[in-house]
Structures are given as C-alpha cells and as structure tokens.
Structure 1
Amino acid sequence: MAFKFVNQLFTADHHFGHPLMLQFRPFETTDEMDRHLIDVWNSVVRDGDIVWHLGDFSYHDDARTKSIFAQLKGRKRLVLGNHDLDNRGEIRKPIATLPWDIEPTRYAECKQDGERVILNHYAQRTWSASVHGSWHFYGHSHGRLPEYGRSRDCGIDCADVGYAPATFRQLTASMKDAEVIA
C-alpha cells in the first residue's frame, strides 16, 4: 500500500458572498469574487489535504454556503471567526451544518514540520508556548497587522498568499529568524 503525503494548509477571511469585501478586493461582484477564491483554493489544495480555515468563511445563506463548501478540495477544519457566529455567540446555521473534518472550534493547535502551531482567528501578543518557539497563525486583520515574532496573519488578503491557502513553509519563509516571544 502506497503512503499518500497529506499537506496542511492555512487560510482565513474568505467572506464568501460578503459585499463589503468588494471595497477591498479587485472584484466587481461577489459571484466573481467567490469564483476566483474557489479557483485559487483548488489550484493549491489536493483532495486529501487538510485546510485550516481561521475564520470568517462565508456570508451566504445555507444553500449557497453548502454549494461553495462542496466545490472546495481538501479536508476543511474551521477555527471560528466573528462572522461565523451570530449575535449570541453561537455558530451560524449555514456554517454549523457544513461537513467539517472536525467540529469547528475557537482555538486549535497542530504540528507542522516538527513545529507547534497555534491557530486562532484573532492576533495575540503572546500565545501558548510562545516562549518555547511555537508559531501563531491568525486571520481577522485582512493583512493590516505586521508580523510579530513568530506570529502572522495567514488570511487571503495578505499580499504574499495570492488569495490562496498557504503551507507552513510558505507562511514562515520570511520569518525563520523571528524572535521568540515571552
């Protein structure tokens, strides 16, 4: 039996269907934006890959959200963002009913290339094991916050990701000498 290598990729802030995003992205309509985001996702993700989505997945209704989700390759995992929740802090129905690879959560950790990676929708000044050299990926800020030690935005609006999910190596390439945060 052949072993199939599985990549882990990281992304955030797709906001599928959210008209407000058109003010900040080079698309005329949400349909055009959604199509482009689906295409670039599928250009880098293989069927068995794990994609950690760090929040703000979709702003559509149930049917459209399910349709987009079904078009995206990979095993999708969600760290909840503010737009994935309703006003009571509960997961919005269009998000909760999707067949995520694991149950959506507000915080996650994973290992990549022997490194501990802390995942949250929000940027943190310190994070679990930051003093021991762990990494921290987040979304929410749409590329407006600079890297901080071993912490960075991995959302699609960051200039270096081209709207696509990115690997640990891609996200940390310019950060390898980053200081450890106490």
Structure 2
Amino acid sequence: MAFTSQYFTADHHFGHALMLQFRPFDTVEEMDRCLIETWNSVVRDGDIVWHLGDFSYHDEARTKAIFSQLKGRKRLVLGNHDLDNRGDVRKSIASLAWDQPPMHYAECKQDGERVILNHYAQRTWNASVHGSWHFYGHSHGRLPEYGRSRDVGVDSGDVGYAPATFRNLTAAMRDAEIVS
C-alpha cells in the first residue's frame, strides 16, 4: 500500500471573476489553470485533500470538469459560496464525487495531533486548551495567525496557491511557540 499524505487548502473560487481583483491573473481561465496545476504539482492520486470551503463558482458542468482534473481524494468542509441562498449545498457542489459527504465542520488527526477544520476562523475551537490546531479559509490571507489557528487558503502568502501538509502549515507556528 502506498503512503498517503493529507493536504489542506481553501478558497479556490474556481470560475469566480471577482477573485481576479485580488489575484495576479488576467482571466478566470488563467486562474483556474494555475490553481489546477499547482494542486496537481503536490497532490498524488491516493492523497487526501481537505478543502475548507468556497470550491467553485462555475456551473455544474464546468465545476465537474475541474474536479475531475484534480488529483487526490477530495473532502469538503462547506464554505459560504458552496451554499445557495437557502443554505442548501449548491447542486454543482453536491453532485461531485467527494470522498465523504460535504460537511460544515470536521476533525482529523495529523502526526498524532488533533486538527479542527472549519471554513471560518474561530477565536476558540474544540480542544484548543488541550493543544489542538485549527485550520480555516474564508479570510483570503487577511487574518493573522492566532495561537494554533491559521488560514490555509490559496491566498495565504506562504502556500503558493497549492494545498499544503500539516507539517508545512505548522512549521513557522511551532518555531514561534519555541521562541515564546
């Protein structure tokens, strides 16, 4: 059995033209292509990718076409753009072959440590007083890290638009804990 890695990411907003105001791309097609390429440059077919919301703004057919190009077993923690105005999962998102049904909240273990996953940043999270970690999206790199909590979205300056591993995401935070 091949070694499986887990990756974390958020806020791809495939097809969302508004993102061009904040990202260095001229067209949605260029942005989508870059996001697909950077994803596939790190993720292998059997790896698990936790996507913490706001996956795609495209219609069902284009969203499915992009999804099928992305490597890995994809899991979705729902973001505000993954839901319709009634709060239901958008059809273009619900119809995808997720590794698990999309959810509003998740937890996983990495390197023996508990990781709390949500689309939104939280000041406190499950088991935070016991050293758990909290990964989120939504803020597009505009919120500073807080304790063991950080933005893992593609717009965070240290991820280069690619999904990242737990160790990569927490390395600088661990160094800061040692210094403190």
Q: Does 1:32 align with 2:30?
A: yes
Contact 1:150/1:178, CA 8 A, preserved across alignment: no
Q: Quick one: distance in 1 between partners of 2:12 and 2:140?
A: 10
Contact 1:107/1:120, CA 8 A, preserved across alignment: yes
Match of 2:5 among 1, 4, 7: 7
Question: How many angstroms does 1:4 deviate by?
Answer: 1.2
Q: Quick one: distance in 1 between partners of 2:82 and 2:102?
A: 10
Aligned partner of 1:30: which letter? Answer: V
Q: Does 1:54 align with 2:52?
A: yes
Match of 2:78 in 1: 80
TM-score with structure 2 length normalisation?
Answer: 0.97
What are the Cα deviations for residues 113-165 of structure 1, in whole angstroms up to 9, with x where unaligned?
Answer: 11100000000000000000000000000000000000000000001000000
Match of 2:19 in 1: 21
Match of 2:88 in 1: 90
Match of 2:110 in 1: 112
Structure 1 stretches lacking a partner, 5+ long: none
Match of 2:121 in 1: 123
Aligned residues: 177
Aligned partner of 2:57: which letter? Answer: Y
Question: How many angstroms does 1:178 deviate by?
Answer: 5.6
Question: How many angstroms does 1:177 deviate by?
Answer: 5.0
Residue pairs, 1:133-148, within 5 angstroms? 133-148=131-146
Aligned partner of 1:105: which letter? Answer: M
Q: Quick one: distance in 2 between partners of 1:123 and 1:137?
A: 8
Contact 1:149/1:178, CA 8 A, preserved across alignment: no
Q: Does 1:172 align with 2:174?
A: no
Question: How many angstroms does 1:27 deviate by?
Answer: 0.4
Q: Percent identity?
A: 82
Contact 1:50/1:75, CA 8 A, preserved across alignment: yes
Q: Quick one: distance in 2 between partners of 1:104 and 1:178?
A: 33
Q: Quick one: distance in 2 between partners of 1:21 and 1:171?
A: 23
Q: Quick one: distance in 1 between partners of 2:10 and 2:173?
A: 19
Match of 1:67 in 2: 65
